[in-house]
Structure 1
């Protein structure tokens, strides 16, 4: 610089003018020297020299923080003295790595926070800190703590993790875990160690021998062997001792073969396992006695024989060993309700599974019915019943002994004593309503408990002899052939429980009787039978009431009113007698309610309910008689009022006639 200044001063003191060429040369040299000095200053400022003797580690960290122009937070547990010296100048990157190595030697680590703030903490606490996640294609060198996820393509992560843990020198604060669903490994530790483990992972995770081998079975069934091998491999993989890596195992039913894919060692182990399973079964036949709990042994024979025959035909078609298609015998012993089965072990196991599913407790159905005959379409006002079926039950007339206000209108006799709302299960109210009215004739109230899908029958009546044929011999002896025909009340019900609480009822109900011979002309051909029958199927929920009816019947009756003696005089006797014909119509109605009984408690509830009804039957009968007496008194009152009104009208008519005269 001095030469330049002297050179410049030299040219300045010269009286002559400086040439332009020399002036440009001087300026260029000045700029070149200035640039050289600037670069020298920048290079020297980026170099650091480290020398500490028994210095407090916190002072060392603060010095590094100032030199690197970074904010570093020091954990309170960081303490101690540091002695270190570097005999060479370090650039900024080497200076930072030297600082990380120094912390590692003294048991500390540097963690970078998301806001570009650094903190120094003990290495053991690095696991619980927020560690930056390195991308799969990224790379960091040195002792910086990082997280990295490796996704394996060809080998099992569960298999490789134990090996990586043995090679990890960050065991105090680093972690290596695997995530089986995505076959991935997560490693936390120093960047140098993580990169080293990455190279090991790449060495093992490569495509191996993935050929496919076919093994044809000679004795076993392909689908069953494939299922068994897969279950065995799964159980081995779930254990902590060993991991069995395998590609795929597929069964080919058409050729009774198994396809195995994977590397050569895996295929070899798998095929050896299949060979051990593909052996001829023992022809030893086992005999077993199975006692039924709920089902009837004889009724299971057809099902079990059909299953065993189907299994034998399937095994023959699949080229299975002859011992598997040997003799199978299934017999029923009715005295103890047991099945005696002779079969091989495999078939015995299958039959036992089928029997266990079939021998279950069947639900039962309580079927309650009321068969009632109403006279002259009276006694039951169905319109009122339907209109009030959601009202919960209403007594339509006051009880005997209760006064009736003058504002109340007299109700028709056809609805006297009826209770509305029985469609919500008010069975007792329905029975009381029907029994109260004298126009109703309750023929039967059967209550039957039957098994699901089993027909139950209720029959009350008598057998009437019917002449079917007459034969006369040569000696004029007459032989009559007689058959008997049942007449009375018959109810057949077959309930079938569907999904939920619905019941399909197949109903057959019949009411028959012998016709009155005085009103029929049979010409001595025999009896005439009156029959009314219902054959129907309905779907109803458990506990609900169904009405089936509308069977009308007409009876013609003749009555003769006459004056004794005078009514029997020929020709003129008709003047003293009167003949009337009356037609009585009756309507047969069936009320039926099914109730599903599934558990033992259901039977107890029904038993208690029936016992309560039986105890209350006498009081109900007294109530019904009182209601009937009240209805008769009410009818007499109505008739008396009508008679008095007519009498009053007649007397008024005569009084008016006398006044006119």
Structure 2
């Protein structure tokens, strides 16, 4: 009895594992019947050179499956407007001339009204097919030329891209300035000032802000409340000043920009010569000097990859309307999880300030005015800290 059952099982396996051999002509006929379209095969193709195997004698084969099977055999499928044509690329001269004379004529103007701001992604998709497109901003639509075969392939992809909402997040940026000269003046008094502070990881956050080279990790994952409490404490003690604290809403793969700057005038002289006469014109250019931050996030689930472009410019001197500035620039990329906070510190800043005081009117007299006024120059050393939180 067991032998009979085993024999029956083997027979069923043989029957169901049987594959059916089809030449390219037979396979094209099956695809033609399944989709109710005409499919012609180039006469240059040898039917015995291309064989396809199916698990059923008369399977239903979609045009998409048919085209993919042809690609695996280095064959191509083209739609002529009336029928589909199978050919060998580079070997069918008739197809080359046919593409130039017929296929281009069958291109129709396509108009697709979009639901979202998705044109950039759709334009990239169309460029893969060497299709130029135009965006109609009044109707939020895209137009392009293509034949029916290409259109049938890309229409569903265009709909998918248009229905896909880009994720967005918030950046919380905090810009701090810590007075290093004040820290030096306090000296040993800081120990008693910081001692016994109840904030968790207080000393870690203080070092991260004021002495960053002593810290091995600049990403805060859990105790963000303690970090911000430390900032408030340092600000109340006049050790640290919060320069700015903006919230920026950003979409995935879209840049956001923030700046905290001074608009400084620069003296600009130009000389012109006309009829042997030389004239000099004076004008002013204005330039932003300060801190500029550009962020570009790519959101993948709870993970955020973002590029950071940071520019810090300091005004060293502004005498005689010829300001002298210094510039520091950083371009880098980071990866954070939503809810994490990145702290960038160690950006040294030197500020020179000239003070003039004296007796009114008398101090402004040319040459003699120096007897009635006092000039003092003050240099402040500080360190900038930039914290970026994503959520």
The 3 A distance-change label for structure 1 pair 332 and 503 is same
Query: Where does residue 250 of structure 2 map in the other structure?
Result: 450
Matches within 5 A, 1:567-646: 584-595=380-391
* Equivalent of residue 486 in structure 1, options 288, 304, 309: 288
Matches within 5 A, 1:212-227: 214-216=23-25, 225=28
Structure 1 unaligned segments of length 5 or more: list them.
1-132, 137-146, 158-180, 185-206, 233-250, 310-327, 380-408, 519-523, 561-578, 596-661
Distance in 2, Cα, partners of 1:534 & 1:415: 35
Query: Where does residue 169 of structure 2 map in the other structure?
Result: 365
Q: Is the 8 A contact 2:173 2:247 kept in 1?
A: yes
Q: Is the 8 A contact 1:297 1:334 kept in 2?
A: no
Are 2:176 and 1:335 aligned?
Answer: no
1:544 Cα offset (Å): 0.8
| TM-score, normalised via structure 2 length | 0.59
Q: Is the 8 A contact 2:272 2:278 kept in 1?
A: yes
Are 2:297 and 1:495 aligned?
Answer: yes
Partner-residue secondary structure (3-state), 2:159: helix
The 3 A distance-change label for structure 1 pair 295 and 415 is farther
Are 2:118 and 1:296 aligned?
Answer: yes
Distance in 2, Cα, partners of 1:414 & 1:440: 14
Give the aligned length.
297
Q: Is the 8 A contact 1:362 1:452 kept in 2?
A: yes
Are 2:265 and 1:465 aligned?
Answer: yes
* Equivalent of residue 3 in structure 2, options 135, 152, 156: 135
The 3 A distance-change label for structure 1 pair 554 and 489 is closer
The 3 A distance-change label for structure 1 pair 259 and 358 is same
Deviation string, structure 1 residues 135-180 (Cα, Å, up to 9, x no partner): 23xxxxxxxxxx7852465xxx6xxxxxxxxxxxxxxxxxxxxxxx
Distance in 1, Cα, partners of 2:289 & 2:299: 31
Q: Is the 8 A contact 1:417 1:436 kept in 2?
A: no
* Equivalent of residue 432 in structure 1, options 202, 207, 232: 232
Q: Which has the higher contact order (CA 8 A, sep 6+)?
A: 2
Q: Is the 8 A contact 1:417 1:437 kept in 2?
A: no
Distance in 2, Cα, partners of 1:526 & 1:460: 21
* Equivalent of residue 193 in structure 2, options 389, 394, 413: 413
Greater strand proportion:
2
The 3 A distance-change label for structure 1 pair 231 and 183 is farther
The 3 A distance-change label for structure 1 pair 366 and 227 is farther
The 3 A distance-change label for structure 1 pair 417 and 373 is farther
1:351 Cα offset (Å): 1.2
The 3 A distance-change label for structure 1 pair 339 and 261 is closer
Instruction: Tell which structure's C-alpha radius of gyration is larger.
Output: 1
Are 2:127 and 1:352 aligned?
Answer: no
Query: Where does residue 96 of structure 2 map in the other structure?
Result: none
Q: Is the 8 A contact 2:259 2:291 kept in 1?
A: yes
1:458 Cα offset (Å): 0.6
The 3 A distance-change label for structure 1 pair 430 and 501 is farther
1:582 Cα offset (Å): 7.2
| TM-score, normalised via structure 1 length | 0.37
Matches within 5 A, 1:149-188: 150-151=8-9, 153=11, 183=15
Matches within 5 A, 1:102-251: 133=1, 135-136=3-4, 150-151=8-9, 153=11, 183=15, 214-216=23-25, 225=28, 228=31
Structure 2 unaligned segments of length 5 or more: list them.
36-40, 67-76, 84-105, 184-188, 206-219, 357-374
- Pick which of 458-467 and 368-377 moved more: 458-467
Partner-residue secondary structure (3-state), 2:8: strand
The 3 A distance-change label for structure 1 pair 354 and 433 is farther
Q: Is the 8 A contact 1:378 1:414 kept in 2?
A: no
Deviation string, structure 1 residues 474-523 (Cα, Å, up to 9, x no partner): 5453212532211233211122234x5232232223343433447xxxxx
Distance in 1, Cα, partners of 2:354 & 2:20: 104
Q: Is the 8 A contact 2:176 2:385 kept in 1?
A: yes
The 3 A distance-change label for structure 1 pair 457 and 556 is closer
1:304 Cα offset (Å): 0.5
Q: Is the 8 A contact 2:256 2:294 kept in 1?
A: yes
1:459 Cα offset (Å): 1.8
Greater helix proportion:
1
Partner-residue secondary structure (3-state), 2:238: coil
The 3 A distance-change label for structure 1 pair 494 and 418 is farther
Query: Where does residue 552 of structure 1 map in the other structure?
Result: 348
The 3 A distance-change label for structure 1 pair 585 and 183 is same
1:525 Cα offset (Å): 7.7
